Chains A and B, each alone.
Chain A
Amino acid sequence: MALAGINWFKYSSPASFYPLAGKMMPWFAGLATVLTVVGLYMSFFVAPTDYKQGEAYRIMFIHVPAAWMSMFIYVVMAVYAALGLIFNTRLSAMMASSLAPTGAMFTFLALWTGALWGKPMWGTWWVWDARLTSELILLFLYIGFMSLEAAIDDPRRATRASGLLAIVGVVNVPIIYFSVQWWNTLHQGASISLDKAPSMATIMLVTMLVMTLAFWMYTIAIVLYRVRCEILERERHSEWVTELMEERK
């Protein structure tokens, strides 16, 4: 109920969001640290060896959360880009820019860990399979978004162009997700689904979810930190930033 009393629109202003992000960031960073320690302990000391894949399946505790985060971050980035284009809110564009590097990192990790799992299990590092190829396209979309933004000097035009790319590219996310159903792929189907019981042991599932939560909290923390930099950079000529700099002396 107390949350309903907060004027959320106030926080769409960079000047109001900057201190709020600074207050929230340490909490998410702390949560990410605790969850990572718990997740790693479970990954190596609690989860048992898989009867089929042996110890190699432990790569899944990184691979699956990284793949989920790569798609989730892209969708959030596209939503912010759309909000920025529709409502012309400065903070939305800054959020989209701040999400892209972390999204690209998780996409790379999903591909990297997938290759390291694929070699011993499939006998190959890479196949031009629908799931793998669409995930690679996601990495190119992230790189394209960041490159486009960096290549255009006028910040407003850069935001518009990269925002459009983010929105168009979001069509790739359902393609990644459903690729294993739509096409005959080497990549296995989803281990976890909302309408089916999970096809893995509970302890393995819990470990995977703890690692996902850890990655999620990490993403929020690093994006809040980065968006504070974006805000300062883009609002450097505004009065409140000048005052902030005066206060810091």
Chain B
Amino acid sequence: MGGYGGYVWGSYIVTALLIAAEIIWVIQRRKVLLKRLARMSRLTKG
């Protein structure tokens, strides 16, 4: 990278990490939410 490796990879890696973190965050949020809603639904029925 002509001596600029740290700057270039620093940009691309942080971008990839943030995007990955956002994807994991929303998937996790949906999982937790669906579990909570399923529990609510069971309680309402019971």
Contact = CB atoms under 8 A, between A and B. Distances in A.
Contacts of A119: 7
Given A105-B18, A245-B37, A222 B8 contact: no
A61 to B, nearest CB: 9
A225 to B, nearest CB: 5
B38 A55 contact: no
A116 B22 contact: no
Interface string A47-63: 00100001110110011
A109 interface: yes
A15 interface: no
Nearest to B44: A242
Contacts of B22: 101-102, 105, 222
A113 B11 contact: yes
Contact of B8 (A59, A112, A246): A59
Contacts of B7: 56, 59, 116-117, 119-120
A55 B1 CA distance: 6
Interface residues of B, number: 27
B44 to A, nearest CB: 7
Nearest to B36: A236
A248 interface: yes
A229 B30 contact: yes
Contacts, number: 79
B40 to A, nearest CB: 7
Interface size class of A (residues with CB under 8 A): 35 or more
B37 A232 contact: yes
A233 B12 contact: no
Contacts of B44: 242
Contacts of A241: 37
A249 B41 CA distance: 10
Interface of A: 49, 54-56, 58-59, 62-63, 66, 101-102, 105, 108-109, 112-113, 116-117, 119-120, 218, 222, 225-226, 228-229, 232-233, 236, 241-242, 245-246, 248-249
8 contacts: A58-B8, A59-B11, A102-B22, A113-B15, A226-B29, A232-B33, A236-B37, A245-B41
Given A54-B2, A54-B4, 12 more contacts: A55-B1, A56-B7, A56-B8, A58-B8, A62-B15, A105-B19, A119-B7, A222-B23, A232-B33, A232-B37, A233-B33, A236-B37
Complex A-B, nearest 10 residue pairs according to Cβ-Cβ distance, in ascending order: A56-B4, A245-B41, A113-B11, A55-B2, A55-B1, A54-B2, A116-B7, A59-B11, A55-B4, A116-B11
